[in-house]
Structure 1
Amino acid sequence: MPVCHLEPLNPSEANCRQAYHSVFLDEPNQHLIGNFALLPLRTRTRGPALQLPPLPAGVTELTIDASSESYDPLDEVLQLFRANTFFRNFEIKGPADRVLIYGILYVSELITKIKPNMGRRDAEKAVMNSALDTNFAIPGDAGFPLNQAFEPPKDRNEAEVLRQYVGQMRQELAQRLLNRVYADGSNAPSKWWLSFTKRKFMGKAL
């Protein structure tokens, strides 16, 4: 059911807008831990995610379309980041939306690591230090900010699988974000991406 009471962060925006939901909501045979979907990913990072085909010839991370068999939830996170990050409220329609939420919040965190005067090498060091850190909260942990909407794993084994999957997400998102922030080859970060440093999707931060 569409939500038309979503509150944009910009109070001058009078029109009612809708946030975008995941195109993977109806993905068949989803592997769930709690109510978080472990969807297939296109990644070389080791972990439990099922592997999607590599990018087709002539297609890049920046040009891939949602109709491609190689399109994954992390492509979606980066494509919907700008549109969704302005909203404080978001109606969760299924497990895939929780992947989208986590991904957007993590991209928001990564952007704060990149400073306006950073070249790509320094930014990569800062971003990958975060992505490779295994001391992060997952649903059910006391420090996880969305426990009211995310169910915890049933046991320690499920928790470990979920942690490994989220770790894959974090590493892959870090790499793809860097490719976007430094897409013009100038070795200076995109002012457009850095303009979102203070935005908080749903008013939350990881």
Structure 2
Amino acid sequence: MPAYHSKFNDGDYQSIGNMFVLPIKTNSRNNAGAADILGEDIIDEAIQLFRANCLFRNFEIKGNADRVLIYLILFISECLGKLNKLTPQGDALKQLSTLAVSSFSIPGDPGFPLNAMYAPPADRYQADQMKQYIQKLRQELAIRLVEQIYVDGKPSKWWMCFQKRKFMNLSL
């Protein structure tokens, strides 16, 4: 069974390195632009495809949007690892929001685990743009993930069972 790929691969979007800067549905300002409120954005797609794709050890990249999807799936894995079954919803949002703004590596940095698959930004300006975009992705994903995982104030067992899974045997 093949892995699920992003539906945004065929679009015409701005790229930094070889990663698309895709529009995000958010209330705050971002450098990617606003997505259609009724449609699905890359964060919705990553949450939807996470449970199926995290089971794969290999993932064929078919476009620049797949690189964004891979990053988001790895970040979801990291978020699930931070939560435990006893974490209340309010504390979970605080933990994941802190994780989202904590220091992280971008393509081209020595600590970035996917440097073989990602091209580094061309210059310092693009590196700053990429860092801002990835941070916005992480913040918005943390908010939506808590909304998705928590049912009746408790984390869903259907999400928490993926805590120890490593997508492509990698972690951020």
Q: Are 2:169 and 1:203 equivalent residues in the alignment?
A: yes
Unaligned runs of 5+ in 1: 1-16, 56-69
Is 2:3 the partner of 1:19?
yes
State the one-letter code of the partner of 1:97: D
Alpha-carbon shift at residue 106 of structure 1 (Å): 0.4
- 3-state SS of 1:117 partner: coil
1:140 and 1:147 in contact (8 A); partners too: yes
Matched AA of 2:28: T
Distance in 2, Cα, partners of 1:53 & 1:32: 19
Matched, 1:43 2:46: no
User: Shift in Å at residue 112 of structure 1?
Assistant: 1.0
Match of 1:102 in 2: 71
- Structure 2 unaligned spans of 5+: none
Q: CA deviation at 1:124?
A: 1.1
CA distance in 2, matches of 1:130, 1:118: 15
TM-score normalized by the length of structure 1: 0.81
The structure where helix makes up a greater share of residues is 2
Please show how residues 106-145 of structure 1 align to structure 2 within 5 Å. 106-133=75-102, 135-145=103-113
Report SS of the residue matched to 1:171: helix
SS in 1 for 2:154: coil
Partner in structure 2 of residue 67 of structure 1: none
> 5 Å matches for 1:1-206?
17-28=1-12, 30-55=13-38, 70-133=39-102, 135-182=103-150, 184=151, 186-206=152-172
CA RMSD of aligned residues (A): 1.0
Quote how far apart the aligned CAs of 1:202 are: 0.7
Structure 1 runs of 4+ with >4 Å offset: none
Larger relative contact order (C-alpha < 8 A, sep ≥ 6)? 2
Which is higher, the Rg of structure 1 or of structure 2? 1
The percent of aligned pairs where both chains have the same amino acid is 49
